Amino acid sequence: MFTIQQIKEAHSKVKSGADFPAYIQDLIKLGVRHYETYVSDGHALYYGSNEFKTSSDSKYAPLLIAETSNIPQFIDNLKWHQQGKTDYLTFCRDCANNGVEKWLVDTTKMTCIYYDKAGNEMLAEVIPSL
């Protein structure tokens, strides 16, 4: 099974959203099946085979998640991040300001789905392959 240290090493290569597809490939090699990242403090829950589960610590000071989601602005911020125009913390702040509570990455389906505080899907994306 994988460790949080291995995940941190893979994540250390990520400088912007442009690096996300390569990061996902690294997680697949480690055996991560899916994971959920919580915008409020950046902690994540990682799931592998045979019901294996581990979690990371908070990555930054708590952020307040907006009660009302702003999907058009979120999509604009996401595009900027994917183009390498923002760093990870800026992206997380943008998510919080636009009502994103968490995102779920499924490495089997190669999808990333963003959710608001009510559990509503805000955006589903296919993760590009390398």
Mean of pLDDT over the chain: 94
Contact call for residues 59 and 41 (beta carbons, < 8 A) = yes
- Apex 123 CA angle, 102 and 107, nearest 5: 70
Q: What percent of the chain has pLDDT over 70?
A: 99
DSSP 2: -
Dist. CA 51–CA 67, nearest whole Å: 33
User: Which one is predicted more confidently, 19 or 94?
Assistant: 94
Residue 16: band (very low, low, confident or very high) from pLDDT cuts 50, 70, 90: confident
Domain locations in the chain as residue ranges: 4-53+60-126
Chain centroid offset of residue 45 CA: 11
Q: What average pLDDT score do residues 33-55 get?
A: 97
pLDDT at 82: 87
Residue 23 token pair: 């990061």
Q: What are the CA-CA distances from residue 46 to residues 28, 31, 105, 115, 116 (Å)? A: 12, 10, 10, 17, 20
- The fold for domain 4-53+60-126 equals YdfO-like fold (3.30.1810)
Does residue 68 register a pLDDT over 80?
yes
**pTM confidence score:** 0.91
Does residue 130 register a pLDDT over 80?
no
Does residue 45 register a pLDDT over 80?
yes
User: Which one is predicted more confidently, 85 or 34?
Assistant: 34
Q: What average pLDDT score do residues 70-75 get?
A: 98
- φ, ψ of residue 102 to 5 degrees: the values are -160, 165
Contact call for residues 91 and 8 (beta carbons, < 8 A) = no
